[in-house]
Structure 1
Amino acid sequence: MEKIDYKKLGMEIKIHRLRAEISQSDLARQIGISQSHLCNVENGRLSPSLRLLLSLRKLLGCNIDELLIEASSESQGKQM
């Protein structure tokens, strides 16, 4: 079974947020969570809920696979 690296997942969320040019506080407000909660997710200290991932997908214009594939342990062993 694949393991999710929450630090990498948080980094992917942050990268997509920055590409969308949305501040952390604005994104947190739009999702309905505190900025500190989003900060903890982006830094890998908290794992995001499915609800949070679905909200991020809509607001950041990405799909969950884009976020999770980079954060899975399986992707660490694959080199292209």
Structure 2
Amino acid sequence: MNTAIDPERLKRRRVAAGLSQTDLADIIGVTKQHVSMVATGQANFSPRLLKATAVALDCEIEDLLADEPAETTGLSPASTGSPA
């Protein structure tokens, strides 16, 4: 399964839920900076954080994922900011 988050999908879902980046960060237990990096495509969430984000935004994990394979995003597992 592709685990690269689509920043635009994340933003749409977050805004629709009425949450700021800080609100989402507080809910899923990361810093606002981590959410910001994911929102700009500079990092990704671990599978655990991806699931927590989907729960917080009341959507399916797949609703947050990019259509293209993770290998083409330029994000390596090391850039996720959290252990896998």
Q: TM-score range by the shorter chain?
A: 0.7 to 0.9
CA distance in 2, matches of 1:4, 1:32: 19
Q: Verify the 8 A CA contact 2:13 2:57 in the aligned structure 1.
A: yes
1:36 aligns with 2:33: yes
How many pairs were matched up? 69
SS at match of 1:25: helix
1:72 aligns with 2:81: no
TM-score (norm 2): 0.72
Q: Verify the 8 A CA contact 1:17 1:60 in the aligned structure 2.
A: yes
Q: CA RMSD in A?
A: 2.0
Q: Verify the 8 A CA contact 1:17 1:23 in the aligned structure 2.
A: yes
Q: Runs of at least 4 residues of structure 1 off by over 2 A?
A: 2-6
CA distance in 2, matches of 1:33, 1:66: 21
Question: Any unmatched runs of 5+ in structure 1?
Answer: 75-80
Question: Any unmatched runs of 5+ in structure 2?
Answer: 70-84
Give the number of the structure whose residues are more often helix, by fraction: 1
Q: Report the structure number with the largest CA radius of gyration.
A: 1
- State the structure with bigger RCO (CA 8 A, min sep 6), 1 or 2: 1
Identity value in percent: 33
